[in-house]
Structure 1
């Protein structure tokens, strides 16, 4: 075998190995869940890859809670597939993971492994337990490729007596030790518990004894009131606590079916990390055109004005127009419009109508989007929907509940499954100017 041929074989083998391994760690190295506003589910045991794929394209959920370890964790044998490759694939696909650690529980609970409630030295034993559990959780998170600055959640199950001083104070010292160690290790600390027990105890301690305990960055509260929001019960927790750093578990242990796959889940709504935020919109064509318009009127040769500049800029971005963005609808612009229309299978009229606007505004990358997504792709979607559905969606770059409603309306009009999830089928319809 020649040297060149040998190098080629080695190179091909390397590429094949990378493809087989799936997405690279660099692709998945972003904190999770990060800034996120939207729906999340937890099914205790991590779903299989096939189940995650089905739910990604058909469910409203973009967040997923996964149990990564701890003495009280169930599903030790049911999720043998949970490894760094699984985590990496979900991250690249767009899932926002919420890693959960389930160790010792409140000393007055019925669990086998409980927090030490010896009061000596301000419950020092409980604090040591919390730090030890955090160190173990961080090791596991690192082994799974969960990036630094991700939130690691401690699951302190509810149902314990917060009026029991030994039980409450030891739990608080344990959680304080957990939080301090998690943060020291470069991660963010989260605590899951009932709003009436663990979260109530944390908030009351912060109010009554400020500085005595290290508070978590985020809280995940169980309150099965059926409302998909992050509002606290004011009788239990102050509204000023953990603002935009909350997850609400509002439905417990219910079967749900999406994409033909049924899982028994808890439903959650999250506003964490400040919520989903889109980066600032880029200036279009050097600032000579405005893409976000109150209307996108029909245009034909001879027209002048800002709407023409918008059309010229979009045509330029799509490689159909090489002229100046000057607001004049002349022969080169008409020729560029016809070129673009032919590329989308539209009648080549040379006039910009509603269908042509829709294709121009939606053109570009076609990522899967749903409530909680944010970025320029969401802006393109919102602009295109404003033309295709005559909606009044505000172009924010954040996929909100309002955006979901317009997506569902568009899907229903086209007789697509009205999931509210923007899949390749939705992008394809917009790119063909279906209105």
Structure 2
């Protein structure tokens, strides 16, 4: 939401008025705890109540979302959580969901909520510590362990009044320090024009006065699935995979016949979804081609070397990699085609390339996933579609777009999610 005139005037003099608690933030807690979002650059949704398991299962298979924000407690949590317990958390983790735990306790002293924090700075900081202790106890009971990021939901408020703004900063400072002392990471969710703006400004004009959260999660319904901000966040503290953006609010979506009203988010946390360090399938051979041409006896070159590498890697031959499409290569291709239920032509066609490239495990993949199976997917899509798909080991939006194109071509629902049906189609185009 836009700044009020009063808020703009306040921000211009905030450097002179900022009053902190005089202690710098402690070192950040280690990331990667059980139950936290982990490392992800991708889509997430949040909803007030933990969905039933049949909903989570359907959305895992058909929705683009890899993460879910869920309210684990707090005095201003409005909805009960009949589904949420340690078994629910454990089940989602096993299925590959990234969890973003939210705590919604006392709100800003100038807000209209039933439970508000004190306007006194020292008291507000102690309240923040107390809320962190309660959140940690609840998180531990749910199996959300040390190293996890717990997000405080600080709803919209007017950042112009000094006492209200500074008390909220002190509260968040206490929240952050207490979480760090317990081995957790601190996150804050808020409107970009409220707590997020206030935190950024205080961090720039009065560094060290308040303990800053490790991650920010900003609500800004601009419809853009990214973590870019405008001039309301000018510092660089949260530039290294420390942001989540709630870009669409209160939308109704249906996947697998299951409908939810959600907020949609783009999340970039942990280390982000980064390309894996991959070893070549065969020493000195590049199998990541921009195109996979039809090959037959008599051909030679790098594409032949790539094909011979794949035939060795998939245990269809032990012949050396020569770069020449000879009789042994033809025999190996026929053997592979026979095992893959393809016509035994001895030529490497689009279908043969695709099936060879896709061979291996069949994990469910969506935006944000990384690793060797993603490399296989991207290579196979390049062969199947006849156009280059970036081969970097990360399912990006561009990769998901290629998956959708392939699904349409094969008569599958264009979800962009790589399910067992997609892997099967890649092996049988």
Give the structure-2-normalised TM-score: 0.89
For residue 72 of structure 1, the aligned residue among 73, 76, 79 is 76
Structure-to-structure mapping, 1:198-209, within 5 angstroms: 198-209=195-206
- Assess, with a 3 A threshold, how the Cα gap between structure 1 residues 430 and 239 changes in structure 2: closer, same or farther: farther
Aligned equivalents of 1:180 and 1:337: distance in 2?
62
For residue 415 of structure 1, the aligned residue among 411, 418, 428 is 411
Residue 377 (structure 1) aligns with: 373
Kept in 1, the 8 Å contact 2:296–2:325? The answer is: yes
Residue 94 (structure 1) aligns with: 96
State the secondary structure of the residue aligned to 2:200.
helix
Residue 133 (structure 1) aligns with: 131
Query: Deviations 1:89-118 (Å, cap 9, x if unpaired)?
Result: 211211111011111111111112111112
Kept in 2, the 8 Å contact 1:29–1:145? The answer is: no
- Assess, with a 3 A threshold, how the Cα gap between structure 1 residues 393 and 239 changes in structure 2: closer, same or farther: farther
* Post-superposition offset of 1:30: 4.5
* Post-superposition offset of 1:31: 5.8
Larger mean CA deviation between 293-302 and 313-322 belongs to: 293-302
Aligned equivalents of 1:139 and 1:298: distance in 2?
61
Aligned equivalents of 1:284 and 1:206: distance in 2?
48
* Post-superposition offset of 1:359: 0.5
Structure-to-structure mapping, 1:7-46, within 5 angstroms: 30=34, 32-46=36-50
Larger mean CA deviation between 359-368 and 299-308 belongs to: 299-308
* Post-superposition offset of 1:84: 1.8
Kept in 2, the 8 Å contact 1:232–1:239? The answer is: no
- Assess, with a 3 A threshold, how the Cα gap between structure 1 residues 147 and 389 changes in structure 2: closer, same or farther: farther
Residue 28 (structure 2) aligns with: none
Residue 217 (structure 1) aligns with: 214
Residue 422 (structure 2) aligns with: 426
State the secondary structure of the residue aligned to 1:248.
strand
State the secondary structure of the residue aligned to 1:407.
helix
Residue 286 (structure 2) aligns with: 290
For residue 153 of structure 1, the aligned residue among 151, 154, 161 is 151
* Post-superposition offset of 1:239: 5.9
Aligned equivalents of 2:152 and 2:209: distance in 1?
19
Kept in 1, the 8 Å contact 2:38–2:270? The answer is: yes
Aligned equivalents of 2:272 and 2:40: distance in 1?
4
How much is the aligned-residue C-alpha RMSD, in angstroms? 1.6
Kept in 1, the 8 Å contact 2:351–2:427? The answer is: no
Aligned equivalents of 1:288 and 1:225: distance in 2?
47
* Post-superposition offset of 1:305: 2.9
Residue 27 (structure 2) aligns with: none
Number of positions where the alignment pairs a residue of Structure 1 with one of Structure 2: 397
Query: Deviations 1:237-281 (Å, cap 9, x if unpaired)?
Result: 216341131111111112111111110101111122242112211
Kept in 1, the 8 Å contact 2:291–2:386? The answer is: no
State the secondary structure of the residue aligned to 1:67.
strand
Structure-to-structure mapping, 1:308-347, within 5 angstroms: 308-347=304-343
Residue 25 (structure 1) aligns with: none
Aligned equivalents of 1:361 and 1:269: distance in 2?
31
State the secondary structure of the residue aligned to 1:115.
coil
Kept in 2, the 8 Å contact 1:131–1:180? The answer is: yes
Residue 392 (structure 2) pairs with residue 396 (structure 1): yes
Aligned equivalents of 1:229 and 1:306: distance in 2?
38
Residue 254 (structure 2) pairs with residue 257 (structure 1): yes
State the secondary structure of the residue aligned to 2:193.
coil
Larger mean CA deviation between 102-111 and 276-285 belongs to: 276-285
Aligned equivalents of 2:59 and 2:235: distance in 1?
33
For residue 162 of structure 1, the aligned residue among 152, 159, 164 is 159
For residue 66 of structure 2, the aligned residue among 59, 62, 68 is 62
- Assess, with a 3 A threshold, how the Cα gap between structure 1 residues 427 and 147 changes in structure 2: closer, same or farther: farther
For residue 350 of structure 1, the aligned residue among 341, 346, 355 is 346
Query: Deviations 1:141-160 (Å, cap 9, x if unpaired)?
Result: 122122432211110011x1
Kept in 2, the 8 Å contact 1:31–1:149? The answer is: no
Structure 1 residue runs of 4 or more that deviate by more than 4 Å after TM superposition = 28-31
Greater relative contact order (Cα < 8 A, sep 6+) = 2
* Post-superposition offset of 1:302: 3.2
Kept in 2, the 8 Å contact 1:41–1:267? The answer is: yes
